[in-house]
Amino acid sequence: MTIQNLKSQNLILFEVISGSKSFGLNTPTSDTDIKGVYYLPKEQFYGLSYIPQISNETNDEVYYELGRFVELLLKNNPNILEILASPDDCILYKHPLMERLNLDDFLSKLCKDSFAGYAMTQIKKARGLKKKIVNPMEQEKKSLLDFCYVLQGYDSIPLKTWLGEFSSFGGVSEGRGGLLQERCGLINMPNSKGMYALFYDESATLGYRGIIKNELSNEVSLSSIPKGEKELAYLSCNQDGYSKYCKEYKEYREWMEKRNEERYQTNQEHGKNYDSKNMMHTIRLLQTAEQILSKGTLNIRVSNREELLSIKAGVMEYDALLEKADNLIISIEKYYETSALPDSPDVEKVTAVLVEIREALYS
């Protein structure tokens, strides 16, 4: 089932322009996002082919099956409530049956957690992005060798430095090139996590397995050391640090591949080192939650366009934005205590309406 199928079979119940254009935050370069609601043919709905959501490849057009749409409304999902609250000039099509879904039947105190909770995840995301922008990672991935150190007196030096600088020790010599990790052998040190005794096979005849098998190894290699061999040094391996680095490297490379270049360049130009568009929507979400709890209504067309666009442009400092978000959360908590809204929507009432709509569609 595709969006084209929905349209050709007249299955669409509701279709709106969403995103920045519905909020009144669009600029000449803004994309047009489309959201909608559909119902499935009777055979699919009653059969085994239920499809809760359909979108295009870029996800700028997303349609929800009627039941899924109502389910998310009952949870006060921000994106879904905003679809139902779309301004008249953003509604492309509305089936008469959709008039039965009244926004007032869904607004509740749940919005404190759904809107504010989502906003907090966006703040966390912005912090993570700030870290990526401020601390770019090298393209070439490090190996476990970069997290190994050799003890030297009361100090330690990076293993690669030690290998490269080693000229002669205890009769072992590899010339100007230093030692080869492939000729090293390690054995565990008792009761010492991450500590190893390091041996070296200058003749490459003892079958040592090296410190790591290859550049992709996630752990050091252990060798069988002949009796009487003398350790050359003691090695410390920070395997936990390497695992953390691998996770961050993977996330960074994925971000590099998927990031919106235009948006990234905007963030670079304003020089505040945070995703300003993300923070604009975070503040907008918190202001929306405050509006719902204080007034009991939801008007998604913003009244502070210039303020929000200035945030998007990177005018405000990151710490000032976090302080603004904290103050909004305090306000939301205050209005939550005095709000006349119900704790949650009336599920029985909404379910009855959903059944009526389905009966009308399938009759």
Pair of tokens at residue 45: 């709905």
Kindly tell me the number of DSSP H helices and DSSP E strands found in the chain.
13, 12
Residues 106, 276 contacting (CB under 8 angstroms): no
Phi, psi of 167 (to 5 degrees): -115, -50
Q: Which helix (H) or strand (E) holds 205?
A: none
Gap between the Cα atoms of 299 and 301, Å rounded? 6
Gap between the Cα atoms of 78 and 182, Å rounded? 56
DSSP states along 71-98: HHHHTT-HHHHHHHT--GGGEEEE-GGG
Residues 328, 287 contacting (CB under 8 angstroms): yes
Q: What is the pLDDT along the chain (363 residues), one digit of tens a residue?
A: 999 999 999 999 999 999 999 999 999 988 899 999 999 999 999 998 899 999 998 889 999 999 999 999 999 999 999 999 999 999 999 999 999 999 999 999 999 999 988 887 777 666 555 555 556 778 889 999 999 999 988 999 999 999 987 644 444 444 445 899 999 999 999 999 999 999 999 999 999 999 999 988 999 999 999 999 999 999 999 999 999 999 989 888 887 776 555 555 555 455 555 778 888 999 999 999 999 999 999 999 999 999 999 999 888 888 898 899 999 999 999 999 999 999 999 999 999 999 999 999 998
Kindly report the pTM of this predicted structure. 0.65
pLDDT one-digit tens code per residue, 225-247: 999 999 999 999 999 999 999 99
Q: Which amino acid is at 180?
A: L
> b/e map of 181-201 (b: 16 or more CB within 10 Å)?
bebbbbeeeeeeebebbbbbb
Helices (H), 39-194: 42-46, 66-74, 78-84, 111-134, 159-165
Check residue 101 and report its DSSP letter: S
Gap between the Cα atoms of 114 and 106, Å rounded? 13
Residues 239, 147 contacting (CB under 8 angstroms): yes
Residue 75: partners with Cβ closer than 8 Å, 6 or more residues away: 110, 114
Angle of helix 111-134 versus helix 276-295 axis, rounded to 10: 170
Q: What are the chain's domains?
A: 1-106+345-363 (3.30.460), 144-243 (no CATH)
Gap between the Cα atoms of 176 and 219, Å rounded? 28
Phi, psi of 284 (to 5 degrees): -60, -45
Pair of tokens at residue 73: 């409304």
Pair of tokens at residue 232: 């050359």
Pair of tokens at residue 99: 């008039």
Gap between the Cα atoms of 29 and 54, Å rounded? 26
Q: Which helix (H) or strand (E) holds 24?
A: none
Residues 290, 115 contacting (CB under 8 angstroms): no
Residues 174, 202 contacting (CB under 8 angstroms): yes
